[in-house]
Structure 1
Amino acid sequence: MEKLSLLTTEGSNPKTSRLDEMSIKDILKTMNDEDQTVALAVRKVIPQIEKTVEKVVEAFNSGGRLLYVGAGTSGRVGVMDAVECPPTFGTSPDLVKAVLAGGKGAMYEAIEGAEDDETLGAKDLENLQINGRDVIIGIAASGRTPYVKGALVYAKSRGATTVSISNNENSLISNCADIPIEVITGPEILTGSTRLRAATSHKMVLNMISTTAMVKTGKVYQNLMVDLNASNFKLRERAKKMVCTITEMDEDKAESVLKQTGYNVKLAIVMILAEVDKEKAQTLIESADGFVGKAVTLASIK
């Protein structure tokens, strides 16, 4: 096992060698300066992120899933991204899932030792019946977390596409992945605290993967989240605004159509733009594989 002290993420940042002596303002400015380097580090691995998105789109189109696997902060970032997919894109909670070392309780309280168990990572994925249609993304800032490594090795044995996200070059989990993503964010301002820049890079990469995959599977029209689950007042108002923006219909009429659809934004838009009833709009959307623009085009052809 690689010595932790040799990892870039465990190095000392010379810009903050006297962090404890700095003023509050200087600490904040330094953190902000250092955070600005994260986006540039992510940009360097866009080719690998692109390959990952292509695999995720294939998975979604073939009935597969996207699973994030991690421990501690890295795992919690995966949870944050996964739980936002159903309300944002109207997906099933099973489509994008997060597997966290130590289980759900580890989201709120550190469970020591769980991340050091390689067999536990494999077992947790075994319980989810991983198959060749799935994409498994293992996340570990150090790139050496046994739990994540065990999960990736098991996933690969089941034929799943494996992806690793780490913040060190030539990391151990990179060797276990079909697509290794190494975002080199360098030493943290607080030595070894990868909940800072490393975790920020994880959030950025997962945002890019899940959002782009949803766009490419028909969950977005123009730049609007037309598959959102309008489950509260704020989201119903957002749904109404989307329909008004796209169809140029006034709010009262837009709300009337939305009520007919149970606040299904896609249905409402296609009903209005294609001038069809709810049943016909649903048929058009299904024929268009969920893409609103394609559904409206099909209506004009027929």
Structure 2
Amino acid sequence: MNGLYALKPWYAVRLSGLRRALAARQVSPDTLTAAGVVCAAGAAAALAWLPAPPAALLVAVLLAGRLAFANLDGALARDTGRTTRRGALLNELGDRAADLLVIAGFLPLAPLWLVAAAAFATTLPSWVSLAGAAAGAPRRNGGPVGKTERCLLAVVAAASGWAVPVLAVVAAGSAVTAVVRALWVWRALGQPETAVAAVARERVVATERDVASEKPVVRAAEPASSAPRRRPSPSPSPSPSPSSSPTLGSLPCDHDRSLPLDPGEVSGGITHTRPQSPADRGTRLRGAR
């Protein structure tokens, strides 16, 4: 259940023209993150200090800007190739600061304990998503009461003056959203492979494949006449006779070697390409007479 987060692709398409204009002017994504926090602070001030009906329009405009900047900063960073780890950190901190600022706008309108409970509850869904991503699950967003729903509830409070009921819904809904995300992450981590684990496994397989492809090259570079891998062989007689030719019983057997024969190893003037049986050796010797 993604809630209003399912409208994010549609919203991103509507902002594509603005995103291209910002990219052409080389606006920094960090600037957009900061602008989103400023919009959230302005909405909190309007919610706290302006009367209920007139405050709704200003709160709605400022929170719409807060959501737009939250969408634009990451998209602009990807489009312009300026995604960095520091930018990702700043994006997360900006989102959390904006959420808390909006909740702080309820301080003059609701009991302190309820504001504190709502502020704590609004951070829980993000904690669950970040913990799941750190464990290898895909990042989970949306939910019954996500970031978009909380902004909409703040507009409802500004328009109606029902600060306490709205804040209670925000607190309870955020807690439910955290539970829903936690269950989804738990199921994802129970799968044989998550997306991150699959990527890591593919890297391991590719590394093993590269190492395996290098083995023949390393073996070919070893000298075939290396002393530890060669055994002495009798000098061939220029005119072998039946009495001087080696017999089958005098030839060494395979179990006399601690190492296998290598390609190019010479024994008795005969080049072997594989370990040979005594019958093969006898056949070759008879053919050489």
TM-score by length of 1: 0.23
Higher strand share: 1
Higher helix share: 2
TM-score by length of 2: 0.23
Question: Is the radius of gyration larger for structure 1 or structure 2?
Answer: 2
